C-alpha cells in the first residue's frame, strides 16, 4: 500500500474553540492496581463469548473479564 503524502498549506484555520483538558495525567496512566492471580472455572460458552468479543475489540479477554468483575463489585460495594 502506497503512503499518501500530506500537503500542508498556510491558510487561515478559522475560529478556534479551546476545550478543557480531559486526559489523565501521566501519573494516572502508569498507576497499576494490585492484582491477585486466581484460578477460575468458566463455562465454555462464557469463555468463547469473551474471546470472540476481545478479538472484535482488539483487546485481551482476561482484561474484559477483570473489568466486568471490577464494575460488578463497585456497583454492589455502594450498597
pTM exceeding the 0.75 threshold for the entire prediction: no
- Grid cell of 48 as nine digits: 468463547
Q: Provide CB contacts within 8 A for 61, sequence distance 6+.
A: 47, 50, 51, 53, 54
pLDDT tens track for 37-58: 999 999 999 999 999 999 999 9
Residue 1 has pLDDT above 70, yes or no: no
User: What is the C-alpha separation between 72 and 13, in angstroms, rounded?
Assistant: 46
Residue 13: per-residue pLDDT: 81
Residue 55: per-residue pLDDT: 95
Amino acid at each position: 500500500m502506497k503512503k499518501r503524502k500530506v500537503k500542508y498549506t498556510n491558510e487561515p484555520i478559522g475560529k478556534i474553540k479551546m476545550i478543557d483538558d480531559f486526559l489523565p495525567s501521566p501519573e494516572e496512566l502508569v498507576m497499576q492496581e494490585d492484582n491477585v492471580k486466581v484460578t477460575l472455572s468458566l463455562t465454555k460458552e462464557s469463555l468463547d463469548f469473551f474471546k470472540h468479543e476481545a478479538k472484535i475489540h482488539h483487546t485481551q479477554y482476561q482484561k474484559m473479564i477483570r473489568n466486568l468483575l471490577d464494575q460488578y463489585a463497585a456497583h454492589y460495594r455502594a450498597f
